[in-house]
Amino acid sequence: SIFIDTLAKAQAQEELNKDDLKVLLSADGEEASLLFKHADAVREKYLGKEVHLRGIIELTNYCKQNCHYCGLRRGNEQLSRYRLTYREILTTAEQAVALGYKTLVLQGGEDSYFSARDIYELVKEIKKMDVAVTLSLGEHDFDTYKLWREAGSDRYLIKHETADPHLYEHLRPGKRLKQRLQCQSWLKELGYELGSGCMVGLPGQTLDTLAEDLLLLKKMDVDMAGIGPFIPHPQTPLASAQQGTLEMTLKMVALARIIMPLVHLPATTALGTIHPEGREKALQAGANVVMPNVSPSEYRALYQIYPNKICIRDEPVHCRSCITGKIKALGRVVSTTRGHSPKGGITR
Ligand code: SAM
Ligand code: SF4
Ligand code: FES
């Protein structure tokens, strides 16, 4: 069959073109299982059994953007807003480091309350704790990214969201895909390890677009790709849209692994939200990273990007042992390193 022929091409490590990717994205049932199995083998061969944990601290749920998909959008007036104080952030970071996290991700809405200097000071302070720092704070100018890099930030996570420029512009009012990719290029130029990614199942997205998403990740030569299902949020314009599926998201993760053997791929929290074993399934279809929440429990419920997010009632210490248990149950091991990009030649 055309599926078997294309899978054979993938197994022979031949380059997959857009048509090939579409064939593999159309796999179902048995075929999809074969695809996952191959991706799992590629992960094992290139990266072994190590799973990297990244602790996410959700700094603020204020956002000046109005993305149609996101519960933090400025138009959501029903959401109570919070920002962690400088002290709270440092305490949270210390606790996460004590739990053994070797990478902390500082994420938030685009909140002008925090100046570029504030973030600089914060990163400087956290870097004293002997961890890798990833920032995920949206779009900023070159000089801001430069300043944050000088503070010691190692990585930046800024997903391209969708490779379809029209869909992108529709879903992110006032924003352009080109600007997003410009940010990504700057970040690479500044020596950050780059995290990108996309949502799966956005309304208006096609198989063609999903294949483009994969090709764009490859073209941008990303170090990490966060691929998760779109989950409709009731207080957004996409409230009545369909949710992305487990199957399609897993196929995207698997193909990302197959075409980019050394990239870091998280088993996303969103996947764990739409299916109780979503993260485990992703870890067996190419993923090698998990990003547990380490935010203070009293704020977790307010960082409601999408509804029913897992772990909102759990303490950091609970998530840490929960996820370690899941990783071990799969015969894998929790990495004790910072888990820098195996692609990079950067030594720190
Ligand atoms: N504000 C920054 C940004 O947009 O890059 C970082 C925080 S933003 C909440 C992090 C990610 O959440 C986005 O890159 C997007 O992919 C994801 N996201 C937002 N709304 C979502 C939804 N309804 N379902 C799944 N993922 C969503
Ligand atoms: Fe803001 Fe990011 Fe949500 Fe868009 S996805 S509304 S930029 S937090
Ligand atoms: Fe939070 Fe399992 S990772 S409860």
Secondary structure of residue 53 in the 3-state scheme: strand
Asked whether the predicted pLDDT for residue 124 surpasses 50, the reply is yes
CA-based nearest residue to 191, from 231, 137, 226, 151 = 151
Q: Is the CB of 319 under 6 A from ligand 3?
A: yes
pLDDT in tens, 166-225: 999 999 999 999 999 999 999 999 999 999 999 999 999 999 999 999 999 999 999 999
- Between CA 117 and CA 129 the distance in angstroms is 19
Q: Is the CB of 213 under 6 A from ligand 1?
A: no
- Protein residue with its CA nearest to atom 12 in ligand 1: 305
Q: How far is ligand 3, taken at its centre, from the CA of residue 273, in Å?
A: 11
Mean local confidence (pLDDT), 276-302: 97
- Protein residue with its CA nearest to atom 2 in ligand 1: 138
Domain count, the chain: 1
Q: What percentage of residues in the chain have a pLDDT greater than 70?
A: 99
Q: Does residue 346 belong to any structural domain of this protein?
A: no
∠ CA 347-196-289, nearest 5°, is 65
Domain that holds residue 204: 2-334
- Between CA 100 and CA 131 the distance in angstroms is 10
pLDDT at 345: 53
Q: Does residue 348 belong to any structural domain of this protein?
A: no
Q: Does residue 34 belong to any structural domain of this protein?
A: yes
Q: Does residue 342 belong to any structural domain of this protein?
A: no
Exposed (0-12), middle (13-18) or buried (19+): which is 27, by Cβ within 10 Å? Answer: buried
Q: What is the CATH number of the domain that holds 319?
A: 3.20.20.70
- Between CA 211 and CA 63 the distance in angstroms is 30
pLDDT band at 346 (very low <50, low <70, confident <90, very high): very low
pLDDT in tens, 284-295: 999 999 999 999
- Protein residue with its CA nearest to atom 13 in ligand 1: 159
Average pLDDT in the chain: 97
Do the beta carbons of residue 274 and residue 308 sit within 8 Å? no
Q: Does residue 115 belong to any structural domain of this protein?
A: yes
Mean local confidence (pLDDT), 69-96: 98
pLDDT at 344: 72
pLDDT in tens, 239-267: 999 999 999 999 999 999 999 999 999 99
Structure ipTM: 0.99
pLDDT at 348: 38
Q: Does residue 48 belong to any structural domain of this protein?
A: yes
